[in-house]
Structures are given as structure tokens and as C-alpha cells.
A and B are shown apart, each in its own frame.
Chain A
Amino acid sequence: MKKNISIFLIILVTFLVQTSFNLIFPSVLAVPNLVLILTCCNGYMRGKKSGMWTGLLSGLMLDLFYGRILGLTALALLYIGYFNGFLFKVFFDDDIRVPLVAVGISDLAYGVFSYLVRCLSGAKLSFGSGLLYTILPETFCTVLCTIPLYFLYHWLNKKITANELEEEQSPWLRR
């Protein structure tokens, strides 16, 4: 229980920082997708289920708060969490290369997904300019942000798993 609350708090704080990122740091190239980093990291460090729940929850919060179609971002992040969960098998303490590559690929996929959603909702935008002006800068910033965030999440995860061993596990979050 304590573990789930901690994870939820981490998700909530990440979400809040995400929504006000532009206000705290007004002059950045692109807003990094912090929520996606958290989803990837949780999938990598804690397994498929944790990645899925993280993705679903933060996606739902983004959808709710930004008034887009409810469930779309959640769906995308859910799958990102799930696929990153496969990496749990190669999870090795503070090796940062795997999450860097995973976050990069995930964010590219997420970018393409967002582009498709935008096209379906009637925006006139060529894929080239979408890629050049939005997807690539975002991926670059996201990967850059993964470096400090991974160590932060990794440290938090260590704290959580230390408590976890003593506690009963929720059936939904078992790997």
C-alpha cells in the first residue's frame, strides 16, 4: 500500500512539473516529455505492470487536464510502459544506456502517434515539418532530461523496493 502511494505521488509530482515546465523554464527548445520518461523508467526498473499503470495514470491525467479525447494519451503511454517492461529482464542497477535508448525510441513513437492524432483531428501539417519542428526537438530534450531523471527515479525506486519486501503486494502490480 505504502509502495503504491509512493509511486502515485511520484507520478503526480512528475505530472505537475510537466504541466508547468514551460513556466519554470520559459526558454527551452522544446518541452521534454517527463511523463514518458517516468513511464519508461518504471517499466525498466519495476516491470511491465508498473510501467503500464504509470503510463495509464499519467496519460489519463494529461487527457483530463488538457481536455483532449479521454484515453488517447493514456493508451499510448500504456503501451510504452508495457514494451519498456520487457527491458526489466536486462535491468542492471545504474546502467543508463538502456533507458536512454528506450526513452529515445519511445518518444519518437509517441511523436509519430501524436502526429497521427493531430492529422485525424483535422490539422494540415506535413510529416516533414512535424518531424523537424516538433518530434525531433522534443526527443532531443527528452533524452537529455532522462540523464538526471533516471538517477532520481532509480534512487527513489531503491527506497521503495526496500520497503516493498516487508509488505504485502497488490495483485495488480506484481511483475
Chain B
Amino acid sequence: MKKKGTHIKSRYLLVILTIICIALVLLTASELVPVTPIRNAAGTLLVPIQTGINKVGDWLNGQEIGQKNARELAKENEALQSKVSDLEEENTVLTENTKELEDLRKLYSLDQDYNDYDKIAATVIAKDSGNWYNSFTVNRGSEDGVEVDMNVLCDGGLAGIVTEVGTNWAKVRSLIDDGNNVSAMLLDSSENCIVTGSLSLMDSGKLALSELSADATVSTGERVVTSNISDKYLPGILIGYVDSVQDDSNLLTKTGYVIPAVDFSSVNHVLIIKQLKETADS
């Protein structure tokens, strides 16, 4: 290789770059330098490109479904048709029940179901690169009114919470992330408990349930929703269903597992509730 110009030995370059990196770490960790504007700029630049890539991904997955053989689809269609008629029947009954439900809700002073909240639809454009974190980025940001701590829904269940907001993107920490704690309650018995995500449970797609009173009667499949006492999550959002519960060795509490309502392996379209818990009551 020909050599021209100033020559820096790679060893020295390593030292220089290491110092730069460590300085960056120290500066950002101690919050001496605000990084949010830089991050925002980077996000704003990358979001359009990622939206494009996401479209490619959607298309690829569409192809995959197209390749399912026709017989399978016909069978599925048949099953769905019978389900439709079942649902139609059920729907009639449910419509009748709605009125009754409204009255009962008033009695329970739970008149603000989360269906009434102002929501905004968003598309997932990136997922965390590593396997250590479980968060994703959506294509809505502060210009659409998204704020930190807003709850994110998917398939009618709680998917996560907004942790960071840029102009046209927002980062959502998903419910199954290792660092996630949600104060929850069992719908039937109104017993309070804590639902946590865990890295070791991530693969099985379950959440851990803890701090449940030993007196509580729990049945498998019971619905778990966010509790009224949670400070970040709006009350009454479906988290999942009880999988199994066992007594702790102290005989005061129970722990168990919850199967989330959301299929976290295929979160693509989400709804962000534009209502923060603190302002929900006022």
C-alpha cells in the first residue's frame, strides 16, 4: 500500500478514539451535555428510511402468507364463516347488554372506559437491535401530540409505555421488557398485584405476577387489568390472562405467570392513548 500524507499509527488512533468515547459516556451519563436534540435530529432523519424498510418487511410477510396453500385457506375460511355467524349472534346479545353495562359502570363510577380515550394509531418502524431490551419505535411523535408516559395498546391489550419522544417518532418500552413493572389487578376479585416483565420469561412470552395476597381466589384464565392505583397506567386496560399461580413460601403472597393479551412477536400497528394518568382524573 502506498503511503501519503500524515500517518497515524493505529495504536494511537485507538487511544484517541477511546478517550473520545469515554468522554462521551461521561458527558452523557452525567447529563452535562444534552443529547436529546441530537437524538431527535438523528431520529427525524432515519424515520422516513425506516418506514420504507418496514413496507418491504410487510410485503415480504404478505408473500409468506400468500404461499400458504389454498386448501388450508379454504379450511380457514370455513372456520371463520362459522365464527362470523356465532359472533353475529353474540353481537346481538352484547348490544342488548351494553345499555345494562353503562348503567352498572355508572354505579361502579368506572364511567371512563379506555375505549373513550382519545387515541392515535401508529406503526412500528424499528425494534430494538439487541436482544437485551424489548422496545420499539413508532412513527408518531410530539407533532402528533405524543408525550412520555402515554400508554400504548395493541390488539386491545396493553403493549407498553412511551419512554421517549422525538418530533416524528416515539420510543415505546414494551410490557415484556426486563425493567417493566405494572401495578395490576385481577378483574373478578379486584385483588391488587404486580406484573413484571423478565428477560428469562421473554422467550416463553409470559409475564411474572407477584405480590398477590394469599387470600385471593384466582382461577386460570382470569383477566388481569391495570389497577386504579398505578401512577402511569390508566386503569382498566387489559394486560393478559392468569396462566398459573402458586403460594409463596412465606404464605402471605402468591406468585404466578400471566399470558399477555398482546402477541409481542408481531406488534406492528399500535394505538397510543393520548391521555396521561395524572390528567385523567382532573
- The yes or no verdict on A and B being binding partners is yes
Interface residues of A (CB under 8 A from B): 16-27, 30-31, 33, 35, 47-49, 52, 56, 61-62, 64-67, 69-72, 74-75, 78-79, 82, 85, 114-115, 118, 123, 125, 129-130, 133-134, 137-138, 168-172, 174-175
Q: How far is the CB of A64 from chain B (nearest CB, A)?
A: 5
Q: Is there contact, CB below 8 Å, between A52 and B13?
A: yes
Q: Is B14 interfacial (CB-CB < 8 Å)?
A: yes
| Other-chain contact of A75, B13, B25, B42, B130 (Cβ < 8 Å) | B25
Q: Which of B92-145 contact A (CB under 8 A)?
A: 124-133, 135, 137
Interface residues of B (CB under 8 A from A): 1-8, 10, 13-14, 17-18, 20-25, 27-29, 35, 38-39, 42-43, 46, 49-50, 53-54, 56-57, 60-61, 124-133, 135, 137, 163-164, 171, 178-179, 199-200, 202-203, 265-266, 268
Chain B residues near A125: list those with CB within 8 A. 178, 199-200
Q: Is there contact, CB below 8 Å, between A67 and B39?
A: yes
Q: How far is the CB of B51 from chain A (nearest CB, A)?
A: 10
Complexed CA–CA distance, A71 and B14 (Å): 14
Which of chain B's residues has its CB closest to A129's CB?
A: B200
Complexed CA–CA distance, A70 and B179 (Å): 20
Q: Is there contact, CB below 8 Å, between A133 and B25?
A: no
Q: Are A137 and B39 also in contact (CB < 8 A) when A23-B124, A26-B265, A74-B24 are? A: no
Q: Is there contact, CB below 8 Å, between A24 and B60?
A: yes
Interface centre among A17, A115, A172 (most CB of B within 10 A): A172
Complexed CA–CA distance, A18 and B56 (Å): 14
Q: Is there contact, CB below 8 Å, between A16 and B131?
A: no
Q: Is there contact, CB below 8 Å, between A71 and B53?
A: no
Which of chain B's residues has its CB closest to A55's CB?
A: B17
Chain B residues near A25: list those with CB within 8 A. 57
Q: Is there contact, CB below 8 Å, between B14 and A52?
A: yes
| Cβ contacts A to B, 7 pairs, < 8 Å | A20-B126, A48-B14, A69-B25, A71-B23, A129-B200, A168-B4, A174-B1
Chain A residues near B5: list those with CB within 8 A. 168-171
Q: How far is the CB of A55 from chain B (nearest CB, A)?
A: 9
Closest A-B pairs by Cβ, 6 of them: A71-B24, A22-B127, A24-B57, A48-B10, A75-B21, A70-B28
Q: How far is the CB of B37 from chain A (nearest CB, A)?
A: 11
Q: Chain A contact residues: over half helix, strand or loop, or mixed?
A: helix
Q: How far is the CB of A172 from chain B (nearest CB, A)?
A: 7
Known: A23-B126, A71-B28, A123-B179. 8 other contacts (CB 8 A): A26-B265, A26-B266, A31-B131, A64-B42, A67-B163, A74-B24, A75-B18, A129-B200
Chain B residues near A138: list those with CB within 8 A. 130-131
Complexed CA–CA distance, A94 and B46 (Å): 33
Q: Is there contact, CB below 8 Å, between A20 and B2?
A: no
Q: Is there contact, CB below 8 Å, between A66 and B129?
A: yes
Q: Is there contact, CB below 8 Å, between B200 and A16?
A: no
Q: Is there contact, CB below 8 Å, between A17 and B61?
A: no
Q: Is there contact, CB below 8 Å, between A133 and B1?
A: no
Q: Is there contact, CB below 8 Å, between B25 and A16?
A: no
Q: Is there contact, CB below 8 Å, between A21 and B127?
A: yes
Interface centre among A17, A26, A30, A115 (most CB of B within 10 A): A26
Chain B residues near A62: list those with CB within 8 A. 129
Q: How far is the CB of A52 from chain B (nearest CB, A)?
A: 6
Which of chain A's residues has its CB closest to B196's CB?
A: A124
Chain A residues near B23: list those with CB within 8 A. 71
Chain B residues near A129: list those with CB within 8 A. 199-200
Q: Is there contact, CB below 8 Å, between A20 and B8?
A: no
Q: Is there contact, CB below 8 Å, between B266 and A175?
A: no
Chain A residues near B22: list those with CB within 8 A. 71, 75
Chain A residues near B128: list those with CB within 8 A. 22, 66
Which of chain B's residues has its CB closest to A27's CB?
A: B265
Q: How far is the CB of A62 from chain B (nearest CB, A)?
A: 6
Chain A residues near B38: list those with CB within 8 A. 64
| Other-chain contact of A169, B4, B39, B42 (Cβ < 8 Å) | B4
Complexed CA–CA distance, A115 and B14 (Å): 24
Chain A residues near B200: list those with CB within 8 A. 125, 129, 133
